[in-house]
Each structure stands twice: as structure tokens, then as C-alpha cells.
Structure 1
Amino acid sequence: MEIDCSTPDVTPDMTAGAAPRTAAPAPLPVGTRLLHIGPHKTGTTSIQSALFAAKDAMAAHGADFPAHSRHPMEAALAVCARPGMIGDTRPTEGHWHRLVERVRATGKRTSVVSSEFFADAQDDETIARIVDDLGGDRVHVLVTLRPLAKIMPSQWQQYVQNGLRMGYEDWLTHMLRKAPYEKPNPSFWRRHRHDRLVERWVRVVGAENLTVVVVDDGDRGGLMRTFEALLGLPAGLLVPAPDTANRSLTLAETEMLRKLNKEFRGNGLPDELYSKLVRGGAVMHMKNTCRPAPGDARITTPEWALEAAAGIGAEMSERIAAMGVRVLGDPALLSAVPAPQKPGPAGEKPAPENLVPDSESALPDRRGSAEPVPVRIDPEVAAQALYGVLAVAAAAPARPAAVRSVHQTPSRELVRVLGHRVLKRLGRA
């Protein structure tokens, strides 16, 4: 299969300062079932929102979006045997069967299904089942990729939203320098060792049935145009839809949540309470009501990690090119070393041995000299997060509390009892 990555055709852009645009690919054959598997943090939410918003208009042009919601997350989690977010109800096979039925109902028309959780498929057997259920040789797999340097901070704060208590630099050290690079989040490299991800799916569908799209953050509409072209849709049909609930957290917001995670775990509260009150209450309300200010501290990646990520990106890009899959976009973006960022509040700490996963090369040690910068949460943000918890708790029906003496009861036991009572009330609600 020819690879479009060495000298991509470019369409001139007349807008000053705009990135050059890659020529649109030819549409996939009519009746193709396009399966977008992410992985995470590669523009998945943006494209899913655009597809869902335009599903009626797409249908008029012969392309269906069969999922009942923007993101069929439960279906993907179920077929991949993944538990989902901490405290959430585990998806069932019924979620997967319902999605499959909706896809099959599209008949011979072109359709598209998108979920980054398909990238979590553990083995060839699971991937083969997904492909067979969705149409076998009609399935064309689409993988969207971004540089690791841009994925790492976004993925870390997402892990914090799922209960992670580890700080960013400590997390980077574990992911990049502490073999076997699986703690505390073994899912990270399963998702983001992109060459192995592509290899797993190629073993099942074949190189001719898989396309890799390198997302260019400098070309904001590029991903939309690629999907339009592959699905045979008119240009401009897919438009990004604002989604405040999916925005990334600022450094201060993430640090507040991380410290809350420590208290939550330290007091042994149930996971279901975290799902309802913390993620569904505090975090969701904070995201929906508070817009990050230009001066808010960023999550910054130290130089040693940027270089390590670029080195891994170069290896992955080379291996993907050798697989014979179609590559749209510029693979050089995956191995570019970003300009060093200004140190975040934690500064840069010297790290141990300079090992890169699946790499024999060593990197020189980089020691930061910047002074730590204090991180302060905006009182408005803290108030909205607290209100989110109260609003969810208030929605549960109240009942008279049993009268009992608590002066001799340990505080941790009181917190656990309170947590379980709130959870029961939420369940009844």
C-alpha cells in the first residue's frame, strides 16, 4: 500500500499565518463502516461532537452515524471488557449488542462509529470480534495520532479525574523512566504506544483497511475535513461543537482535585460516591461554569520528558511507516521536539536513569533551575466545585437521621458512614 507521508500534497492557504493544508483523501467505498478507535486525546471528542450534531445532514449525503449518543462509550467498554471510570456502573454486553444492531440497520449505506475506548482492546481475539460484529471486510479502521508531548499532560489530568493521586512529574518519571512503565496507569502505553496499537489492528484487518491520520494542531479544521473527505461529505458539513464539560482542567484545578483524591482514598470512601459527588458533581459543575483565564498556570512538561517523548515518537513513526498503512498528514510532527515550556509550579526535578520505553538510546540528564511557582485556586472555582457537590447531594431525598452519640467515634469511621449514607440516598434518588 502506498504511503502518503513522505511528500504530502499541499493546498495553498491564503490566510496569513495559517498552516498549509494537506490534500483531501479520496472517499472510502460506499457501504464502508468507518471505525474510529482514537486513541484518547487525539481530537476524539471534537470529531464525535461534530458527527453527532450533523448526523441528520450526513444521512442526506449517504453517511449514517448510528450511535444513539455522541460517544458510545459503554458499548466500547463492554466489548473490550473494560470497567469504565471509577465508581461508574460496569457496562454490559447489552450496550454492545444495541450498538451493533444500530450499525447493521444502516444496511448497505456508509456509516461511522467513533470511540477512543476501542484502543483499549486487549488482544487479537477482541479486535476480531469488534470487526466481525461491525461488518467484517466492510470495516475500515481510522487511527488519529498527536505527538506524545501534547498527549501526556492531557492524559495525566484525565487520570486525576479518575482518582489518580500522583503529581505530574512523578507520573512522567514512572511512565518514561521506571520499567516496566506500567504504574500507576498501565492503560497509558497500551493506548499511546501508537506503533503497537496500529500493529494490533493491522494483524486483524490488514494494512489496506487501516488509515492513520496525524492531527496537526496548527490546522484546526484539518481533522473535520479529513472525515468529510473519507465519508464523501461536502466540505464544511462538520463543524466543531463547543463542549465545556470535556475541557481539560487547569493546573490549579487538577492539583485541587488530586489533593481531594488523597483525602478521599485516605478515608476509605466508596468509589460510587466519588463518581456521583466528585466527578459528577464538583468536577462537572466546575467545568460547566468556570472558563480558564489566560493567566491560569499551565500543566508544563519538563524538557527531559519532551525529548523522551520526541524520541519515542520517532520510533513509532518509523515503525508505522514500515507497516504499509495509509498515513494522512505529516508524520514528522510526531517526533518534533517542542520548545521548552516555562516551568510549572513544581519546577523541574532531577530524574533517575534516562531510559525510554522500547528504546536503546539514552538521553542526557536535564536539571531544572527555576524556582517553584505557587499554585492558587480561584475562590470562584473552588466555590463552584463545592456547590456542584452540594447540588448533587441535595437532589437525594432526605430522611430523619437516627439519634446516636458520636463523641467517641473515630473521625474516619464517621466519614465512611456519612459517605455510605449519602450514596444510599443518591441511589434512591
Structure 2
Amino acid sequence: MTLWPRTLLWRSVLLIAALLVVAHLAWLQIFRASEVEPRALQAAQQVVSVVNLTRAALVTADAGRRFALLDELAQREGIQVYAGNASEKVPALPDRPFLRIMQTQLRERLGPDTRLALEREGVSGVWVSFRIDADEYWVSLPRSRIERDEPLRWIGWGALVLVLAVIGAFLVVARINRPLRELTRAAEQLGRGTMPPQVTEAGPAEIRTLAHAFNQMAADIQRQDEERALLLAGVSHDLRTPLSRIRLALEMLDDHGAADLKAGVAQDIGDIDVAISQFLDFARPVDAEQIAADADLNALASAVVERYTRNGKDVRLETATLPPLPLRRQAMQRLLANLIDNALRHGNGTVDVKTGRNGPITYIEVLDRGPGIPQTETARMLQPFTRMNSARSTSGTGLGLAIVDRIARLHGGAIRLLPRDGGGLRARVEI
């Protein structure tokens, strides 16, 4: 099992999404790299201004006003000033480019002894030391003065844009792939022998060209089928007319010494007539017949078997309970008749016809006691004009199983040629 999607739609969406994620991450790195230094310089400038203002206020203010001034700074600006000690230890700064740049700027502007900390005596904040004469003081600012949430907002907006871009890519790719899905359905119909409606020639130029080529191909196939059917219909008419005259002439002959000859000629005429019928069946477009949504397969099989039993053929039918099926009635009767004809021609004795259901699959099978077909030959026997070597001494065209296979595929099914227990062939059509 693979996580890589099988459809072009999801592969395209996944690749576009991956490309957008990589681009978004690269943009974030570039943004952070280009944004850190300007923000650190700006924060350092703010802190320098606060420290200089505080130091100037403490130096120039009257001794009586000094504490009132400190209270006013604390209430209005959130600035706290504390007396410090040069030997006092404070936690080291985290190793972050922003803080390194800020500390460098503070020392350049306030003096090399300036210290920067994010915590002092367990109290969090932005702590900056400064000196007045020999005394050290600490000014404390809220961390919000230097830490902004704009980058987080940018990341949030970027993630939102990324999600919207992926959704938009899905819609665009789905629209581009819509003609391909239509083309796929049409190709499947054509492969089953059904002439599909014309594919819409829309979308990108490559898709339009492909759809146009497919429509042209389908039209050519339909025209060739029509020409072939017309040709065979004309040939059958031209052949059956003299055959009818020969049959009539045979009936008019007397029986003196010609009984065997008449029987042989009549048999040959019948074989030729059957061959012509099979040629026409093979050439006839079976998808022209309308589908009956609630066809009874058992009733169809019973009607076909009854025709054989009326003519004295040993054909038996065994049915199971089946649901109604969407079938082309005449095509299915032709399918079953071809299988029974093959069984009667090549089998020995009784021909059994059975219907049944195995899960979602409905099947009908014809069983005989003939020589059977080797499993290595089953695929070849479904090709037109193909016969087993043992059958070449008998009449036939080699089209019977090809017609059965064609009708089965038209119904979304398949024919399986299986060995029968005890000898013989089991021709099973699954729908």
C-alpha cells in the first residue's frame, strides 16, 4: 500500500501544496532574517531613550522630587528604577540574534559596562543597567516594549493564505481534470463496444486537442462499423438469394437415386446459412439495443432452452433465484444460443444450462461433456475466427465465442472457459 495518490487530480494538488509549503517556509526564514536586525535596532533605540530620560531626570531633579518622579514614571510608562550593585549577578541572555544585536547597540550608546537581562531577582522584564557617577541603577521595562506579536500575526496570515491557495489549487486542477474524467468514461464505454457521446472539447489546448482526436477516432470507428454492417448485409442478401433458389430446386427434384445428394446439399446450405447469420451477428452493433432495467435472466434462459427442446435437443435448465438485472434481452438470448450451439456441436450427450449468484455476481453457465479447452488456449479461443484443431473437421466459423465475449463485456461482465468435473467444458458468463 502506498500513500502516493493514484489520480492525477490528487497528485497535482499534493505537488502544488508541497511547493506552496516550501515557498511559505522559505519566505518565513527570509522574513525572520530580514526583520530581526531592524527590530533589534528599533528596540535598542527605545531602551536608550528611556534610560537617557530616566538618568537625566534623576540627575537634574531636586532630591525631594526624585521619588515622586520615579513613581510617575512607573505609573505612566511602566518604567521601574532600582538601585543596583556592580557585582550583582543576573541570568545570561538567551543566544538569540535579536538580543545579541540589541545588547551590542546598548553598549555602544550607553557605555561598555551596560548590562541587559530578561530577569533580575526572579522578576521578568527587560532589565538595563546604567550608571550615575559610581552608582549602578537598573531600569525595568515591560517585555512587551521590545517583543511584538507582528511576526506571529504574519505567520498566521501566511498559513491562512497557504490554506486558501491549496483550496484554490484543488478547484483549478479539478476543473482542468474534468475533461480528462469525461474522456476516461468515454474510453471505457468505447472499450466495452458502446459508442459514447462526443467528449466536450474544453479546457487547456492540450486537453482540447486530445478530446478532438478521441472524438475523431470514435467517429471513424462508428463509420467503419456502419460500413461493415452494410457490407455484410449486402453480402448476406446476395448469398441467401441463390441459396434459396438452390433449396427450392432441391425440393423440386425427385428422390430417385438422389436422396443422399439432396441431404448433403441441404446440410451444406444450412451450414452456409448459419455462417452468414454468425457473420451478421458479429458485425451487428449490439449496443444499439435498449437496456431493460428489470430483465429476468431465468425467463430469458427458459425461452432459449425451450426452442432447443422443441427441436428434440437434449438441453436441460436449472435455475436459481435471481434479482432483476439491466440486460439487453436479444443480445443475452443470442449469447446463450451461441454457447448452447457450441456445446451441442462439440459435446457428447446432454447440455446443462445453469443460473446462479455468487455474492454480487450473477452468472449463467453452459456445461457439456465434450473434449473441453486447455486453459492455455482459453484466451485465444475468444478471438474471432479461432477454432480448436479438433473442431476443424466440423462446420462453424469460429465466431461463436467471440460474439459471447463481446456481449458479456458490453454488460460489464466476462466469460470464463473452465474445465468441467468429470470431463467437458463449463462456459460461464459472469455479470
Q: Same fold (TM over 0.5)?
A: no
Structure having the higher helix fraction is: 2
Structure having the higher strand fraction is: 2
| TM-score normalised per structure 1 | 0.18
Question: Which protein, 1 or 2, shows the higher relative CO under an 8 Å CA cutoff with sep ≥ 6?
Answer: 1
| TM-score normalised per structure 2 | 0.18
